Every structure is written in structure tokens, then in C-alpha cells.
A and B are shown apart, each in its own frame.
Chain A
């Protein structure tokens, strides 16, 4: 390495090289978030050009808005159940993919199929499977008459199933990458000591896999919390708003009703929830890292 002058030059060039990316991110991400915050402090009915500053009035209304709380509840339930089921399915799938057996390549390629399908398409595909009269699921249940997307108790779970189908592969791949990072020697030593496979799983796999699992949970829960596409296509939030998530409620307020003030307040709340979730998970992840 040459002297300090060259290093200063390197730093200058580094800033030049990252500048375009930073500018783009500022324009398409930072500015809109701040602007949404500003919009949320107004009564702003787009169609009539009605726009006046109302301070925190939208947020005051929001805290008393039962529909907001039920959307928050739906979103939290969707996220918790979907991510849990995905993990429960992904770990065995990853363990399977980590073993050598004929047809492994086929299995790995086919689990990627749901991942590659656009969410909208997968939702449409499942909507047809859920069709109460002619859908595959009711056919397989021997001509059952279950109104999967129209009955309040079922619809949210149907949406969760669609999400599980679509994203379990991604979780499994993350877990698989974690599995492949575990040194084979550890298992060899354990086998020499006469440990049962279950014991090996508990003592070696689970603890060493924990960071990968936590990471998967972080990514997936942040992603599931902003769920929009699948639910918009499956139910548009119905029946009786039992599948309405925060994103759906905010979208309807913004684009259907044209209420940009309150809609922005809902968007900002969605954003804050995601940030909060991320902070909590990252804290936990950091603690785990520190412990190792």
C-alpha cells in the first residue's frame, strides 16, 4: 500500500462509486417514507383536492379505530402462524435435502417451483383449488361443501396455506445453507461416542443451526407482515374483513377511497410495526451471536 495521499484518493473514489446507489435509495425510499409521514398529518382527500394540516388528528382517530386494531391482529396472526408452520416444514425438508439419495436434484428443483411462481399467480391457482363447488380440495375431501374463502373462520387460514406453499422453499434453502455449514467431523465424533441420531440432532444440529433459523425467522416475519398480493387476490380482505391485513386496509383507504391522509397514517403505522419487529429480532439475533 502506498502513502496516505493514495488512501485519501481511494476513499474519495469509494464515495464516488457508491454515490449513485445512495442517491437512488434516498429518492425512492428515504424521501417517500418521510413524505408519507408528512401526508399523514393532513386531511387529504385526493379527488376533491381537499388538503389541510390537521396535526395528529389521523393518529388520534387511528387509535380508536376498531378496524385498524382488527387489521393489526389479522396481520400478527397471519405472520405468527405462517412463519411457524413454514419453519416446521422447512427444517425436515432441509434435513432431507442435505442427505444423499437418488432424486435429490429433482426434489431441490421442484421445491423452487412455488418460489418462482408470481404470488398473484399462486393465489389464483389456490383460489381455484379452494373453489367450493369444483375445487380440488373439496373434491379430495369427498365432495365436502366447505366455503374456504367465504367463511370467516377459514379464509385467513386458507391465505396462510398459500403463503406456506409459496415460501417454505425459501426458508428451507436458508436452513440448508446453515446445515451445510456444520462440520461433518462433529457428527463423526458423536457417532464414535455412540450418540443416537436424535441426540445428534438435539446436541449438534439444533444449536449450530440456530443462527440460520433466527435469520430465516427475521426475513420471513418481516416479509409476511407486509402481506398484500395473496390476500388481495384471494379475498380482498373479506369476508367481513376477517382477512384484512394492514397493507390491505391502507391500500383500500388510499386507492379505493382516495383518502391520502388517513391512508398514509395507516401506511406509516405498518412501517413502524415492521421496524419494531426488525429491532426486536435483531436484538435477539445479536444476543445469540454474542453468546457463541
Chain B
């Protein structure tokens, strides 16, 4: 036993020692920068080639990539703890749309306005992503790829895409009568960020806004009440399966893909899977903007990732990092991500690019939905309140509390977290 312990300690120390020595300085005085991102899935070769392009153009920089946890919550926790600890072991990081205001206010990400002036971003990129990376007139990140919530429907079971919530309910009921055993409308109802996206889409669809004029996060509104009642009603009336309260993106996609659902709310990634060779619903799927109360096209929640620079690293590394971001957000890089990884480009011009329109007509067709995409409440406190929103929305959707009670509780907690109540008292 004792000898085993000693061996283990020795092994451990040696191995950590090895790792240490390779950190920080690259070989032969080159600047070493580390890029932290989540795997893009698919064939790694085109992305590797894209990175190699940067290395060729910047022979003085040694570029290293490191993987992040896949779940957005966990990736955020990683950045929270390491950036708070002033970590300098990575230079370029990916940030979810809702993180940038927080990171900027905390002073964790560098001001990139010089290399990427806000005015230029507004000209070249979709409006939603730009709103989420420009904080108080300064650029803190550059959009990398974008995502938006859309409605999938079965062209063989419904006459056309529903425009209103009433139509959605009617079409679902009719299809369920026609095809017994089918599950109706599936969406993301588990207690996690995906649920918040679904609720905000319903909130906007009922004519609501996420922020008040004074920037306060508004929850006790008529639209929010109607939105929660609508989502809970789908389950209560049997138009969505009761298991939807445990669904994330993939659970919903699996049910829809197996041909067991009429409608699905999801991100565009589900399209290629649904249309893949051997998929039971291949050729029977349509995609449309989400329905709304009054029938105008709905607003999907904006998703996607931005690239930012760690504010704690040295100026030399910052420069190299900014060059990497410019390289990875160029029109050419946008095209690589669209063609090989089905990631939607944030650059407007790409949607009119004939090559892309021909090769990926589906991606090009999402332009309208992306222009209309809305961010969740833009506030530096978003991550503080996200947990509250998830739990109170979950309670209302699962029918544990009435929408009124959930929203009252949520508003109270959100006001407390953002300091509204404290300010009021002063």
C-alpha cells in the first residue's frame, strides 16, 4: 500500500511538472495564444485548415486550441471562476450572446473598438448579434455564428405552417385525430436555458417586451402571463406530451425525427438531421417563423457565439488574439462555418452570396428569421437572473404554480438580484 502511494505521488508530481513547463511561452520566442471553444462537430478538417490559414499568415504566433464543456451553463461557470481568478492561460474565448454585457462590465474581456468599430459592425453584421456585443458604445466581442428559434412542421400532416397560436392548436388537434398516437407539438420545457428561450418567444408573440424603458427586466406583465398560460395550456390540453417538461433540444428532436410529433420548436441544426439519408421524415418537413397571437411572423430567440479577448493577457498576446478574431470572423471564415458546419453567418452579405445560396439554400433562407431574432434581456446581470427565470418559468409551465404566482416570485427575486429594490429603498 505505502509503496503504491509513493509511486502515485511521484507519478502525479512528474506529470504535473511536465504540463507546467509547456505552458506560457511558446517555442523560440514566438507568442503563444490559446483559443478556448466548444467543438463544432462534423469533419474537423475544414476548421483545422481555417486555423492553419491564421498560422501561415502569422508565423510569429503559436496557436493552440482547447475544448470547453459543451453545456453553456458549465462553460459559463468555467469562465466565471477562471476569469475571476485573473487566469491568463487562454487568450481568445467564445461567449454566449447573453454573457458579453456581464463580461464587459466585470472587466474580463478587452475593449476591441479600435480593431472593430461599432459603426462598422452595425453595417456588416445582423442587428441582434451586434446589440449583444456592443456595450455602452464599445465593442467587446465579435459575432462568430448565430442561431435562432424556428418552428418545424410536418408537411404531410398539416396544410401549411400555422401563423397564429390558435391555428397551431387547431392544426395539432386535427393531425392528432388523423394520426393516432402522434405526440403533437414538442419544444424545450426542461428547467434550463432552452426553456427561457421558449418562454421569451411566447412572450414576444403575445406582444410583450423583455425590458422596460428604464432597462428594468419586466416580468409581471399581461404578455408574460399569457405566454406562460399558453405553454402550460399546450400540456394541459394534451397538445404537447407531458414529458415535454423534461425535454431539451435533443429529446425534442429525437421524437420529431422518429416521426412521433407534428410540430417542433428548435434551432436550425435539426434541419440537416431531419433531411438526412434514412431519416423517417425526410422530405416531409417544413420550417417557418414561430406563430404569434395576432398572426404576424414571430420573433425567435437569438442564440449563437461571439469571440472575445481575455483582458488579463499581455498586450502582445492581445494583438495576436485580435488578429485571430479578425481571421475567424472574416466573410471567408463565415462561409467555411456555413458550408461545413451548418452554422449561420452573422455577416449580412453572406446571405446574398450566390455560392452559399446555391450550396446551402436552407441557411440562406433563414435570413428573415435572423433579422427578426431578439436577444433575451440584455443586462449585465443576466446570468444572475437566468437561474431564477428557469425555475419560475419551469414551475408555471409544469403547472406547479399559476403564471401569476410564478411571475410575482420571479419579479421579486430579479429585482433583488439586480439591486432594484436596494436602489428604491435609498
Binding site for B on A (CB under 8 A): 43, 45-49, 54, 57, 61, 65-67, 132, 145, 147, 149-152, 236-242, 244, 252-253, 255-259, 262
Contacts and interface: CB of A to CB of B under 8 A. Distances in A.
B106 A47 contact: yes
Q: Which 8 residue pairs are nearest across A and B when measured between Cβ atoms? A: A150-B246, A238-B191, A240-B394, A240-B395, A257-B384, A47-B106, A240-B398, A241-B391
B383 interface: yes
Interface residues of B, number: 36
B65 interface: no
Contact of A255 (B80, B243, B380): B80
Contacts of B102: 47
Nearest to B244: A150
Contacts of A45: 384
Contact of B246 (A151, A237, A258): A151
B207 interface: no
B87 interface: no
B48 to A, nearest CB: 33
25 contacts: A43-B419, A47-B84, A47-B105, A48-B105, A57-B422, A67-B391, A145-B243, A147-B246, A149-B246, A150-B246, A151-B245, A151-B246, A152-B398, A236-B191, A238-B191, A238-B391, A239-B191, A239-B245, A240-B245, A240-B394, A255-B81, A256-B76, A259-B384, A259-B417, A262-B417
Nearest to B243: A147
B178 to A, nearest CB: 22
B422 A54 contact: yes
A239 B391 CA distance: 8
B160 interface: no
B73 A238 contact: no
Q: Would you call the interface of chain A mostly helix, strand, loop, or mixed?
A: loop
B72 to A, nearest CB: 11
B80 A258 contact: yes
Contact of B400 (A150, A240, A255): A240
A48 B106 contact: yes
Contacts of A252: 387
A145 to B, nearest CB: 8
Contacts of B245: 147, 150-152, 239-240
Contacts of A244: 391
A241 B384 contact: no
A49 B384 CA distance: 14
Given A67-B413, A239-B398, A258 B191 contact: no
Contact of A147 (B105, B242, B387, B394): B242
A89 B33 CA distance: 57
